[in-house]
Amino acid sequence: MSPSHENTCRVRPGGEGIRLLPGNRFFYLNGFFSVIILLFILLPLLRMVTQPSLTDLLATIRDPEVLASLWLSIYTAGAAAFLSLLFGTPLAYLLARHEFIGKKLVESIIDLPIMIPHPVVGIALLSLAGRNHWLGKVMASLGVTIMGSVTGIIAVMTFVGLPFYINSAKAGFEGVPVRFERVARSLGAGPASAFFRVTVPLSWRHLLCGVILCAARAVSEFGAVVIVAYHPMIAPVLMFERFTAYGLKYSQPVAVWLILACLGLFLLMRLVARPMRRVP
């Protein structure tokens, strides 16, 4: 998503530095409000992470059901991110490079999945795949099912994660001056060659960021997935089940592991991305 994408990908404008001039009650007032907000975000998470005992945590991670759901979450989110990369990149590139009538509309369409209430997403995908729609019939005859299948989970996750990848990739492509591609073409490179030899190497950070954000959004989805596929269980669904069946105390360890899995995954990707030569 662009918020965190802005934090991670874009070079910030030159710092002004904290220069506290006299007469800055306003500054301290702002600081006070800011601390409240940060505590509001941090305290619940810290509390939740520190509440379960280590024994509980260890017992939970040995639970094959938990492990399976974590693995399924990661696997489907990865697939969704890959699909977004594959299908979203061309659209992001077109939007970054061309002006056309209806461009605003296309951009709004891309942002739709962000705005739509999550269960509605699930219901919408199921509506399409229903047997009384021609597409549903085609899919059924190919043996593809959405309801209660891994395919369905991936479809939902792709749906909700796409805007995050496309917007990040678009910002990345917009950051590469058209001039570079023009020079490449004047040197004999075709459009595809210019794209892969110049544009992609200069925007890979944004692309990677987009993939990470897309995967993050996909892994965190619950409302749409629970409609489309309660089983096989992804981790948030499992957590929800434990919460409703056994209460808060039994769902907390799963939540902790899910958070750790997400954080670990993103740290790993960050590290993989770091040592690449020549940061633009």
Partner 1 sequence: MIAVENLSVVWPEFQLREISLHIERGEFFALLGPTGAGKTVVLESIAGLVRPTSGSIRVAGRDVTRLAPELRNIGIVYQDYALFPHLTVLENIRFGLRYVPPTDRPAPSWLDGLIDLLDLQRILHRLPLNLSGGEKQRASLARALAVQPTVLLLDEPLAALDPRFRDEIRHTLKQLHEQFDITLLMVTHDFDEARYLAGRIGVLCNGRLEQVGPAAEVFQRPATPFVAGFVGMKNIFPGRRCDDRLEFAGLSCPLPGEVVGNPDHVALRPEDIVLRHQASFAAPMVTCHGTIERIVPAGFWHECTVRCDAARFSAVLSRRAMVEGGFQEGDMVFLGFEPAALHAF
One character per residue 82-121, x = contact with its own copies (rule: CB under 8 A): -----xxxxx-xx--xxxx---x-xxxxxxxxxxxxxxx-
Site for partner 1 in 13-72 (CB under 8 A): 17, 19-24
Euclidean distance between the first and the last CA atom of the chain, given in angstroms as a whole number: 21
Q: What crossing angle do the helices spanning 150-174 and 2-9 adopt, rounded to 10°?
A: 50
Q: Are 201 and 280 in contact (CB under 8 A)?
A: yes
32 phi and psi, to 5 degrees? -60, -50
- Shortest spacing between CB 143 and partner 1, in angstroms: 43
- Shortest spacing between CB 22 and its own copies, in angstroms: 11
Q: Which is nearer to its own copies, 247 or 280 (CB)?
A: 247
Site for partner 1 in 142-181 (CB under 8 A): 177, 179-180
- Shortest spacing between CB 160 and its own copies, in angstroms: 10
Q: How far is CA 164 from CA 46, 76, 77, 215, 216, in A?
A: 27, 16, 13, 9, 10
Q: Does 193 bind partner 1 (CB under 8 A)?
A: yes
- Shortest spacing between CB 52 and partner 1, in angstroms: 44
Could you say which of 187, 248, 268, 272 contacts partner 1 (CB under 8 A)? 187
Q: Which is nearer to partner 1, 11 or 37 (CB)?
A: 11
223 closest CA partner among 234, 207, 210, 209:
234
- Shortest spacing between CB 223 and its own copies, in angstroms: 3
Q: Are 56 and 257 in contact (CB under 8 A)?
A: no
Counting beta carbons within 10 angstroms of the beta carbon of residue 53, is it exposed (0 to 12), middle (13 to 18) or buried (19 or more)?
exposed
Per partner kind, with CB cut-offs from 5 to 8 A, the member of its own copies, partner 1, none near residue 112 is its own copies
Q: Which is nearer to its own copies, 100 or 275 (CB)?
A: 100
One character per residue 39-68, x = contact with its own copies (rule: CB under 8 A): -xxxxxx-xx--x-----------------
Classify each residue of 190-228 as buried b or exposed e, where b means 16 or more C-beta atoms within 10 Å of its C-beta. Answer: eeeebbeebbbebbebbbbbbbbbbbbbbbbbbebbbbb
Per partner kind, with CB cut-offs from 5 to 8 A, the member of its own copies, partner 1, none near residue 236 is its own copies
CB atoms within 10 A of CB 250: 15
Site for its own copies in 186-215 (CB under 8 A): 190-192, 195
